[in-house]
Structure 1
Amino acid sequence: MIQHKAIFINGAWVPSTATDVLTVVNPATEEVVAEVPRGTAEDVDRAVQAAAGAFPDWSCSTVERRIEIFIRLARLTEARADEITRTIVTELGYPISTAIRTQTVGAVEELDIIAESLREIAWTEQLGNTTLRREPSGVVGAITAWNAPLRSVISKAGAAIAAGCTVVLKPSEVAPLTAFMFADLCAEAGLPAGVFNLVCGTGPEVGEAIASHPLVDMVSLTGSVRAGRRVMEVGAGSIKRMHLELGGKSPNIILPDADFRRAVVDGIEDAMRNTGQVCGGLTRMLVPRQRLQEAEDLAVQRAQTYILGDPFDPATTLGPVSTAAARDRVRGYIRTGLDEGLRLLTGGPEAPDGLERGYYVKPTLFCGDNTSRLAQEEIFGPVVMIIPFDDEEDAVRIANDSVYGLAAGVWSADPERARAIAAKLRVGRVRINGAPLDKRGTHGGFKLSGVGREWGRIGIEEFTEYKSVIG
């Protein structure tokens, strides 16, 4: 079992003031695989003081120096790819067949994109007699998610460091182990002491201490709407900038002229990524009413091909959900769907056959309308709602009938028709005909999906402020 007894402050591993530990559980076996310190407000204060002390020098570092460090970080991460992948599979249950590409290779790709994007930013701009400067926001508190544990750290802490900020990171206590690796990688890459600091702990103890600390200038969080509201409340006392990614209930509009089989199959695959534990997953499939039966048949066929089991087995294509509480919550939603009278197409709330251990949930499909709880609330598990629409106007209405606005998909034989519909959707990202994600674009949403954007040049610029120098 891995035992981390220290936290990372001012470039060194130092003892936590904590007397308790947090356990990391393998969701496939239900076994404890690691212990990490249950950090304290005192730990946070030490980390923030270190970050504040490092800020004056790092904020004045050259763009070329930052580029060099991120290139080194990418190569060092690449060199530890196997260890990183195995760690993510162990702490998250992500099937190894896809974790390599989506988590580890994706992390390296994001580091390289940060290095490239630094060259694209206009750090100064002349507007008449005014020189407009982009300057780093200051000390950033980064509170990251468990469902893409290393990539979430890079999207937040990495982008903030690239902007010239210094960082105090609270990784998710569910899957913190790759964040500890990232601290070592930062030191090995030559990042100055105090620029990156790590304190593991719970949201109420460590997250709130970060959000309320007077020397923290900005907070970036990925989490639930409840967590986002709480961070905004706690940070309001010192008027901090907030950068929040809070989830979604994303629609996937399949028009009658689309390549129907491909659209439905791709839609199920997107929604089932990481066992449905992706905030931008297309979990509402909107299909023409006259082709509803065809869509249901295709969706069921695809859902029933998933192989649940040991995430380290290359044959496994669907792993467990993250925790026992998550398993119980998702199965509870499935029971709610049955109680509401939704039509169950496949799956259900029972444990999958042959899996006595692990937090597994059957891939489950329902058909119903957009008023149900399962169509309105983020489930964060392998559950998809298929919803019929009457025409394009109806499809857009249903798609926008949500408190969330993170992502969407549109499928049509006419890409211009699809783009015209995309323009009417109140979401932060729309994929046309299954186009792959481009991390040089942006990730973030409207409405309850949050505030601000991640990835690429714009993701770095989120951690900067404008200064006008006149004359």
Structure 2
Amino acid sequence: MIGKRQFYINGAWVKPSTANDHVVINPSTEEPCAIISLGGQADTDAAVAAARAAFPAWMTTPPAERIAFAEKILEVYKTRTEDLAQAISLEMGAPIDMSREQQVGAGTWHISNFIRAARDFPFDEPLGDHAPNDRIIHEAVGVVGMITPWNWPMNQVTLKVIAGLVAGCTMILKPSEESPLNALIFAEIVDAAGLPKGVFNLVNGDGAGVGSQLTAHPDVDMISFTGSSRAGRLISKSAADTLKRVSLELGGKGANLIFADADEKAVKRGVLHCMNNTGQSCNAPTRMLVERGRYDRAVEEAAEVARSIKVGPSSESGRHIGPVVNETQFNKIQDLIRQGIDEGARLVAGGTGRPDGLNRGFFVKPTVFADVNNDMTIAREEIFGPVLSIIPFDTEEEGIAIANDTPYGLTNYVQTGDPARANRLARALRSGMVEMNGKSRSAGSPFGGMKQSGHGREGGKWGIEDFLEVKAVSGWTPDA
């Protein structure tokens, strides 16, 4: 049993003010794997005070020096990749190979991209040639409470922490209590990089405790949150009392529009993308919209691909999917699969219950429904599991209408051999991101959504901008 009860506050590992143990469960075995402590108000206050005290000096540290600290964090991060991979695999169920390559690799990717973006970022610039005595200064927001999820932990920790650091903010990180071990390792990485005391702090806790305390705290200037839309609404209401800035990266119900002229790998690619990370991704393409002329073939192919996906413990090597994160998620997914059947969707792969041979652990069958309509619960709610809904459409206009008929707006996908149609859909789809024909977004591209998928952007220069205020100065004397 791993014991990790301390918090990282003001550059030191400290005991919680009051003992409040929380058991972390290995979702592959349903057995306890670690014990952490959940923080209380005194711990939150201590972390906020440390960040507040460190802010003036860190804000005025030259950007080049802040970037140098990010470079040092990247250097140390690379020495701890196996520790991070093992922790993520153990606590949230990502298969170990996937944990090494995708989960931990996401952190390396984002740190590197922020360093590149920060080097070119205009933290201090003239307004324009027409106004030689006007200056635009991009200044850190202040103390930031960062609340990160369990499903892509290092992805989200690095998107927030590194952007905040290079922007000049100080911070308190509250990782998910479901997957806290990797964040504690990250705190060790930051400590080894020699960041000034108080710039980065970590307090473990749950949403009702430390999460709510950070959101309501008068000395926290901004909350950066990734999680459910329900929690995002509660955070927005709580933060309104202190008028703090709120950046939200919330849920999704991505549509993947597959036209009759799409390439032969489009359906397989869509199914595998939906099932990746056991379906626990906010940008997963969970609604597959297929043009009528290709629909029957697509349904058969999707079912075949789903049935070929192996499910197994996270500790085993190989290209399989692991369990979902906990019993609550498992039961929610089972209920939604049952609801899909009851509402008349045609089950063509998977279904309720655990896969054959897995009698323990939160394992879910890769599941595909056909003949879904957009009014069904499985087409409306974010399931956050390996469940795909296939919906037919007849015209381009109908496909767009179905895709946009959702409260979410994170990522949509387009598969077509017609470049002009692809470009039309990219403009017509109401989402923060559109990925077409299997091409992923490039380094430095912003991540974020519209509608109930949140607001704000993470990644690249936009991720840095999220943590900055814009100050307009007149009467500036150049070169003084």
| Range into which the TM-score falls when normalised by the shorter chain | over 0.9
Q: How far apart, CA to CA, are the structure 1 residues paired with 2:313 and 2:71? A: 34
Q: How far apart, CA to CA, are the structure 2 residues paired with 1:158 and 1:277? A: 24
The equivalent of 1:426 in structure 2 is 430
Query: Does the 8 A contact of 1:55 with 1:166 survive in 2?
Result: yes
Using the TM superposition, give the Cα deviation of residue 416 of structure 1 relative to its aligned residue in structure 2, in angstroms.
Answer: 3.2
SS at match of 1:126: strand
Per-residue deviation, residues 84-117 of structure 1 (Å, max 9, x unmatched): 1111110111012222111112211111111111
SS at match of 1:311: coil
Using the TM superposition, give the Cα deviation of residue 168 of structure 1 relative to its aligned residue in structure 2, in angstroms.
Answer: 0.6
The equivalent of 2:271 in structure 1 is 268
Which of 169, 174, 193 is the aligned partner of 1:170? 174
1:344 matches 2:350: no
The equivalent of 2:142 in structure 1 is 138
Q: How far apart, CA to CA, are the structure 2 residues paired with 1:231 and 1:251? A: 27
Q: How far apart, CA to CA, are the structure 2 residues paired with 1:315 and 1:453? A: 33
Per mean C-alpha deviation after superposition, the further-off stretch among 133-142 and 224-233 is: 224-233
Which of 242, 245, 256 is the aligned partner of 1:238? 242
The equivalent of 2:478 in structure 1 is none
1:438-457, aligned counterparts within 5 Å?
Answer: 438-457=442-461
1:280 matches 2:283: yes
Per-residue deviation, residues 31-51 of structure 1 (Å, max 9, x unmatched): 111111111011100000000
1:16-415, aligned counterparts within 5 Å?
Answer: 16-127=16-127, 128=131, 129-259=133-263, 261-367=264-370, 368-415=372-419
Q: How far apart, CA to CA, are the structure 1 residues paired with 2:442 and 2:3? A: 37
Using the TM superposition, give the Cα deviation of residue 276 of structure 1 relative to its aligned residue in structure 2, in angstroms.
Answer: 0.2
1:464 matches 2:461: no
Q: How far apart, CA to CA, are the structure 1 residues paired with 2:15 and 2:393? A: 58
Query: Does the 8 A contact of 1:97 with 1:317 survive in 2?
Result: no
SS at match of 1:238: coil
Per-residue deviation, residues 16-65 of structure 1 (Å, max 9, x unmatched): 11321111111001111111111101110000000000000100111111
Q: Segments of 4+ in structure 1 off by > 4 A?
A: none
Per-residue deviation, residues 302-328 of structure 1 (Å, max 9, x unmatched): 111111112222235110000011000
Q: How far apart, CA to CA, are the structure 1 residues paired with 2:80 and 2:265? A: 36
TM-score by length of 2: 0.96
SS at match of 1:201: coil
Task: Provide the alpha-carbon RMSD of the alignment.
Answer: 1.0
Q: How far apart, CA to CA, are the structure 1 residues paired with 2:105 and 2:146? A: 22
Using the TM superposition, give the Cα deviation of residue 435 of structure 1 relative to its aligned residue in structure 2, in angstroms.
Answer: 0.5
SS at match of 1:394: helix
Q: How far apart, CA to CA, are the structure 1 residues paired with 2:238 and 2:114? A: 30
Q: How far apart, CA to CA, are the structure 1 residues paired with 2:188 and 2:41? A: 23
Query: Does the 8 A contact of 2:86 with 2:96 survive in 1?
Result: yes
Per mean C-alpha deviation after superposition, the further-off stretch among 13-22 and 263-272 is: 13-22
Using the TM superposition, give the Cα deviation of residue 125 of structure 1 relative to its aligned residue in structure 2, in angstroms.
Answer: 2.5
Per mean C-alpha deviation after superposition, the further-off stretch among 3-12 and 46-55 is: 3-12
Query: Does the 8 A contact of 1:351 with 1:360 survive in 2?
Result: yes
Query: Does the 8 A contact of 1:308 with 1:316 survive in 2?
Result: no
SS at match of 1:133: strand
Q: How far apart, CA to CA, are the structure 2 residues paired with 1:176 and 1:26? A: 12
Q: How far apart, CA to CA, are the structure 2 residues paired with 1:98 and 1:186? A: 24
Q: How far apart, CA to CA, are the structure 2 residues paired with 1:429 and 1:2? A: 39
Query: Does the 8 A contact of 1:415 with 1:432 survive in 2?
Result: no
* Residue identity opposite 2:430 in structure 1: R
SS at match of 2:176: coil
Unpaired runs of at least 5, structure 2: 476-480
Per-residue deviation, residues 130-149 of structure 1 (Å, max 9, x unmatched): 21110000000000010011
Query: Does the 8 A contact of 1:11 with 1:194 survive in 2?
Result: yes
Q: How far apart, CA to CA, are the structure 1 residues paired with 2:373 and 2:396? A: 16
Q: How far apart, CA to CA, are the structure 2 residues paired with 1:369 and 1:296? A: 14
Q: How far apart, CA to CA, are the structure 2 residues paired with 1:38 and 1:270? A: 34
Q: How far apart, CA to CA, are the structure 2 residues paired with 1:227 and 1:365? A: 28
Using the TM superposition, give the Cα deviation of residue 69 of structure 1 relative to its aligned residue in structure 2, in angstroms.
Answer: 1.2
* Residue identity opposite 1:214 in structure 2: P
SS at match of 1:304: helix
Query: Does the 8 A contact of 2:259 with 2:294 survive in 1?
Result: no
Unpaired runs of at least 5, structure 1: none
SS at match of 1:25: strand
* Residue identity opposite 1:281 in structure 2: A
SS at match of 1:257: coil
Identity of aligned residues (%): 43
* Residue identity opposite 2:121 in structure 1: I
Per-residue deviation, residues 347-381 of structure 1 (Å, max 9, x unmatched): 00122111111001101011211111110110000
Using the TM superposition, give the Cα deviation of residue 397 of structure 1 relative to its aligned residue in structure 2, in angstroms.
Answer: 0.4
Q: How far apart, CA to CA, are the structure 2 residues paired with 1:414 and 1:342? A: 31
Query: Does the 8 A contact of 1:10 with 1:193 survive in 2?
Result: yes
Query: Does the 8 A contact of 1:443 with 1:453 survive in 2?
Result: yes
Using the TM superposition, give the Cα deviation of residue 414 of structure 1 relative to its aligned residue in structure 2, in angstroms.
Answer: 2.4
SS at match of 2:383: coil
Q: How far apart, CA to CA, are the structure 2 residues paired with 1:416 and 1:430? A: 15
Q: How far apart, CA to CA, are the structure 2 residues paired with 1:117 and 1:2? A: 37
SS at match of 2:444: coil
SS at match of 2:391: strand
SS at match of 2:428: coil
Per mean C-alpha deviation after superposition, the further-off stretch among 367-376 and 307-316 is: 307-316
SS at match of 1:459: helix
